[in-house]
Structures are given as structure tokens and as C-alpha cells.
Homo-oligomer: A and B are copies of this chain.
Amino acid sequence: MRILGVDPGLTRCGLGVIDTLPARKAKMVSVDVLRTPSTDSVDLRLGALAEAFDSWLDTYRPDVVAIERVFARNDVSTIMGTAQVSGLTMGLAARRGLPVAMHTPSEVKAAITGSGRADKKQVTNMVTRILELEAAPKPADAADALAIAICHSWRGALSGQSTPGANKDLNERKSAGRQGTGLTKAQEQWAKALRNAK
């Protein structure tokens, strides 16, 4: 399964692609941080990100897109750009029929390091080890995007998809309305309808 992880942001948007391997392993396919200049207007920055994100979807053809969930913090102004980029990437992925999964920062940290309060350095170190990279991905947004993708592969495995051995009670989970990809029934129907329309 190929997963595109997205750490959404207007100034720096991290994108990381991994292929899952057996036994909870994964291989890095690509990683980059898209940057847009803060001197440009927001619409230009979002237009540039839309072009770049669609081109990543075309190039890497992921099976699923995992995006860090934006949370309400103290200062609303700082999350506005992040919310706009997350909305843009969610919409662009979903319109292609791609499943989109959201993971909170603490879910990602907990999955990667074992602690939901790990710092950026711990996350980067674990991402480097898990993907057996020769050097740590930089900047932090690059490592975060890969961490989101890894987190999704493992949480997918937990719910019965990524490792073959875990498939034994997949039907049970299907009947509970969720499948191994982390898709809701409505998402499955939408994806199917889009596939049939094309």
C-alpha cells in the first residue's frame, strides 16, 4: 500500500510518500517540503500548492492520503492558513476518489515514538530508523509528513488491512461499517461511484 502523508501549512507543507512492507516495515519513496513565500497573497500561495499537490498525486499515485488534523488552538489566526491548506488537499484528494484519513499530532507522535508528547527530534529520529534512512529528513515538516504516513500504515494494520495475518476478522470490521483502509461506508461509496464514473 502506498501512502502520501501531508503536514499541511501555507509557508511549509510537508509531503512524504511511503510504501508499506510486510512486518510493519516501510520504504520511503519521496519526501519534500513545498514552500510558498509569505510576501505572496494567500490565493496565489494556495494556487501554487494546488498545482504542486495535484502533481504529487499524479506522480506517486498513492492508495490513500493521510493528513494531519488541524486543531483549535489559542490563536485562531495561526491555524487559518493550515485549515485552508488542509481543506485544499482533502478536496483535491477526495475528488479523485482517494481515501483520506486524518490523524491528530498526538496520534502520530504516539504511533511513532510511543509517546503522544514526544518532541520533534524524537519523531525525526524514529522516522529515520523506521525507514532506514541514511540521514534524517529535514526540515521537521518533511519528517512529520513521513511520520503521518507511517502512523497511518500502522493504524491501518491495527484495524486489519496492512498485514496479511490481520485479515482474519476483516469481515467483522466491515460489518461494523469501517474497513481496513480506515474508510467510512460513505467514503467507500463515493470512491466506488467516482471509479465507475471514470
Q: How far is the CB of A90 from chain B (nearest CB, A)?
A: 4
Asked if A80 and B90 sit within 8 Å, CB to CB, the answer is no
Q: Write out the residue numbers on chain B whose beta carbons fall within 8 Å of the beta carbon of A43.
A: 90-91, 93-94, 100, 102, 187
Give the docked Cα–Cα distance between A171 and B175 (Å): 67
Give the docked Cα–Cα distance between A95 and B51 (Å): 7
Give the docked Cα–Cα distance between A187 and B100 (Å): 31
Q: What is the count of identical protomers in the complex?
A: 2
The residue in chain B whose Cβ has the minimal distance to the Cβ of A86 is B84
Q: How far is the CB of A101 from chain B (nearest CB, A)?
A: 9
Give the docked Cα–Cα distance between A85 and B86 (Å): 10
Q: Write out the residue numbers on chain B whose beta carbons fall within 8 Å of the beta carbon of A100.
A: 41, 43
Q: How far is the CB of A156 from chain B (nearest CB, A)?
A: 16
Asked if B95 and A50 sit within 8 Å, CB to CB, the answer is yes
The residue in chain B whose Cβ has the minimal distance to the Cβ of A85 is B87
